[in-house]
Amino acid sequence: MFLSAAICPAGNPVGFVSRQPASPMSRHRSRYALIAALAGLTVLAGFAWWMLAPGTPPPPNPDLVGREPQVAEKLVRLRQAVIANPDSADVWGRLGSMYQISGFTDEAVECYAVAMQLAPGDFRWPYLTGYALQDDDPATALTYFEAAGQLNDRYPGLFLRKGDLLLRLGRSEAAADAYRQNLAMNPRSSHARLGLARIALLENRPEDAVAGLEEALALRPRHWEVGRLLAQTQTALGNDAEAARLNAMDRPGQIATEPDDPVVAAMWQEAVDSNALLIRGAESLFSGRNEAAVATFEKVVAVRPDSAEHHRWLADAYAASGRVEDAKASYERALAIDRESFPALMGLGAIELATGQADTAVETLGRAVALDADEPTAHFLLGSAQEIIGAYEAAARSFRAATDLDPNFTEAWLGLARVTAASNSDESLMAWRRVVEQAPADRSARDRLATLLIGTGRHEEAIVVLRHGLEINPADVEMSRRLAWELATAPDKDLRNGKEAQRLAEYALSQRAGDPVFSDTLAAAMAENGDFAQAIEFADIALELLDRDGPDALRSAIIGRRELYLAQKPFRQVGEGE
């Protein structure tokens, strides 16, 4: 099956992290099995058996031993609120939400069942029941989602969760219908497009999948799961260059698609445990809401001051907010608790690198690499620090390690190209090629690659590189001039094209009329076309434009070319020639 592993990932299909606390479903399964069976009936009839009970049951009362104090306190308070207001569906629902996010799934389902009985027209309670069960019992969860849909068929998030669940259950046609219903209500839904693309891949329609994924990525460029699946699909279609470009974009800070779901968001707002707060803060951080992330992580650290992980997350938020000194202090607190915290070492090393402490960063990042030699970013950061202090051989080893682990790590190839320029021109040239392949719009990298190719006599390849640059940006003035120069002066006659060289040189000069190099280029193009009088005229203009203090080497070169034109000869670069 085409890309089946990427299409239907295991686990939670909708979140960038599994936000449902792990909870075995063995306890009390029979208590809600009947509810699950009845949920497929009409809402009014589905829970009528509750009406036969002699009264509302007491709220569940699980053992809270071992729970964080603030969690136990809130659960006790909400349970007491239910006892005081047994006829309030909202109070039962709040208690259910708190049980759910605290890992008491069975107790949450019980509370939602009572809320359904008290407010049979409120879609939230069957919907949240489905959300509670979607990981461990997707078939039953789907039944509840369908019951919620009977009550509210205009809630977009419901159809995304239904689509994901149906796809996991192998019902791709029904899943596609659910995703399309979501798109009808929310045309900018990247998650629905991702779901439809997965279905297209299951049905061996990769071109349709590419179209949908490109639309999804255009709507939400930071959705990493869309970018990854698009890259995998492009690879399967043989579009390796495009796949490499997409993979090069996959870096920390990107987020997964997640339904816009106020009901579920309101449920998670009930959370007070450190893990839930950590997840909430991470969502804020990955969504670019840095100050909200700082506020949440500060609460987390207040709850868990002994946790290196929590201090590290706060440091990440400080760093994203530009609070460098606060970030550094928090990373150091994390390392004081756990000196082998790899994320804290990485964060601290990055800050040291960014604040000019390269020597210290080498030591810090060296410790990170020793802890996890399989993380390419650690090698890249270490190489960057080593490059700054002038340890080029060590930097080259670090950049090579990063590219070995992640061949699509464009920044590491760029570092390798820089540090090997003086010691290994062949390796530097190879690295520049990889940079341009993976980042074709990087003009400076393309210019550097062309320069190296020309310097080593590879004029044909240089022309190809320059032409591709102009295909990407036809208005690039310097690229036009450089290509004109090659087409006018290349040693091999089969590579020269005087008419194209003149057209490009005239365009370039129209944009940079006061630059002597551009006049010199047009002069060379005129000479290649046999118009030596014009060539002499533009050579004279170039000489006039040169300041008295202009480069002597350039002045001498233009004078030398002008003498050739006077002798009715074009200029040729040094090479094999005709």
pLDDT tens-digit readout, 267-310 = 988 888 888 888 888 888 877 889 999 999 999 999 889 999 99
- Average pLDDT in the chain: 87
Alpha-carbon radius of gyration of the chain: 32
Q: Are both 536 and 504 inside the same structural domain? A: yes
Q: How far is CA 261 from CA 15, 157, 265, in A?
A: 12, 5, 6
Q: Collapsing DSSP states into helix, strand and coil, what is residue 354? A: helix
Contact 66, 97 (CB under 8 A): no
Chosen domain end from 128, 152, 176: 152
In a domain, 48, yes or no: yes
- 43 vs 322: CA distance, rounded Å: 52
Provide the token pair at 543: 């000489």
Q: Are both 27 and 109 inside the same structural domain? A: yes
Range of the domain at 115: 18-152
Mean pLDDT, range 239-252, rounded to an integer: 74
In a domain, 427, yes or no: no
- 13 vs 285: CA distance, rounded Å: 21
In a domain, 398, yes or no: no
Q: Are both 449 and 557 inside the same structural domain? A: yes
Q: Give the list of residues 6+ apart from residue 491 with CB closer than 8 angstroms, or none.
A: 457, 459, 572, 573, 574, 575, 576, 577
Residue 109 maps to which CATH number?
1.25.40.10
In a domain, 92, yes or no: yes
Q: Are both 22 and 54 inside the same structural domain? A: yes
Output the pLDDT for position 52.
32
Provide the token pair at 43: 């809402």
Is pLDDT above 90 for 493? Answer: yes
Residue of 499, 457, 458, 465 whose CA lies nearest to 482: 465
- 224 vs 6: CA distance, rounded Å: 13
Q: How far is CA 336 from CA 169, 305, 309, 372, in A?
A: 47, 12, 12, 19
Residue indicated by tokens 């390269």: 358
Is pLDDT above 90 for 119? Answer: yes
Residue of 139, 148, 147 whose CA lies nearest to 166: 139
Q: Are both 158 and 75 inside the same structural domain? A: no
CB atoms within 10 A of CB 556: 10
In a domain, 472, yes or no: yes
299 or 574: which carries more pLDDT confidence? 299
- 139 vs 133: CA distance, rounded Å: 9
Q: Are both 492 and 461 inside the same structural domain? A: yes
Contact 349, 318 (CB under 8 A): no
255 or 200: which carries more pLDDT confidence? 200
Q: Are both 159 and 139 inside the same structural domain? A: no
Contact 4, 229 (CB under 8 A): no
Mean pLDDT, range 385-398, rounded to an integer: 97
Chosen domain end from 152, 183, 199: 152
Q: How far is CA 459 from CA 432, 455, 470, 471, 477, in A?
A: 16, 9, 17, 18, 20
In a domain, 76, yes or no: yes
DSSP type of residue 10 = S
**178-203: pLDDT as tens digits:** 999 999 999 999 999 999 999 999 99
Contact 377, 408 (CB under 8 A): no
- 246 vs 249: CA distance, rounded Å: 5
Contact 99, 129 (CB under 8 A): no
Contact 479, 449 (CB under 8 A): no
Is pLDDT above 70 for 145? Answer: yes
Mean pLDDT, range 155-167, rounded to an integer: 96
Q: Are both 34 and 129 inside the same structural domain? A: yes
Mean pLDDT, range 532-545, rounded to an integer: 95
In a domain, 496, yes or no: yes
* Contacts within 8 Å (CB) and 24+ apart, 9-16: 11/135, 12/134, 12/135, 13/164, 13/165, 13/167, 13/168, 14/160, 14/161, 14/164, 14/191, 14/257, 14/258, 14/259, 15/256, 15/258, 16/225, 16/255, 16/256, 16/258, 16/283, 16/286
Q: At what angle do helices 124-133 and 105-118 cross, to 10 degrees?
A: 160
Provide the token pair at 135: 């990981």
**20-31: pLDDT as tens digits:** 333 333 333 333
Mean pLDDT, range 453-482, rounded to an integer: 95
Q: Are both 70 and 190 inside the same structural domain? A: no
Mean pLDDT, range 242-264, rounded to an integer: 75
Q: Are both 170 and 243 inside the same structural domain? A: yes
In a domain, 520, yes or no: yes
What is the total count of domains within the chain? 3
Burial of 399 by CB count in 10 Å (0-12 exposed, 13-18 middle, 19+ buried)?
Answer: buried
1 or 478: which carries more pLDDT confidence? 478
Residue 227 is inside which H or E element, if any? helix 224-236
Q: Are both 165 and 143 inside the same structural domain? A: no
- 352 vs 433: CA distance, rounded Å: 31
Q: Are both 205 and 133 inside the same structural domain? A: no
Is pLDDT above 70 for 56? Answer: yes
Residue of 414, 365, 423, 367 whose CA lies nearest to 390: 423
Chosen domain end from 152, 173, 189: 152
CB atoms within 10 A of CB 152: 15
Contact 111, 92 (CB under 8 A): yes
DSSP type of residue 17 = S
Is pLDDT above 50 for 434? Answer: yes
